[in-house]
Amino acid sequence: MGELPDAFAFIQSLRVALLRMEQWGQVGGLESPEVLGFLRDLDAVVWDMVDQMEGNDRG
């Protein structure tokens, strides 16, 4: 049972890192549509994983 909270904590940490990367990218000049699009796509995947772990259905 300990694996689920560990995985959830990892996913939450990843989400925070993604938000920081996106903010840094906007400030640091990495505003290319490819970079920001990749971060948004990755963020959506992370949210899907969180929803699955929590039993939520966004769609």
Total domains present in the chain: 1
For residue 15, the model assigns a pLDDT of 79
For residue 13, the model assigns a pLDDT of 82
Residue pair 25/37 in contact (Cβ under 8 Å)? The answer is no
Residue 54 CA: distances (Å) to CA of 23, 39, 45: 27, 22, 14
What letter does residue 59 receive in the DSSP assignment?
-
Q: What is the pLDDT along the chain (59 residues), one digit of tens a residue?
A: 456 677 778 878 877 887 777 777 665 556 677 777 777 888 888 888 888 888 865 55
What letter does residue 29 receive in the DSSP assignment?
T
For residue 50, the model assigns a pLDDT of 80
Task: Tell me the two tokens of residue 29.
Answer: 């000049």
For residue 6, the model assigns a pLDDT of 79
For residue 1, the model assigns a pLDDT of 47
Q: Domain span at residue 44? A: 5-57
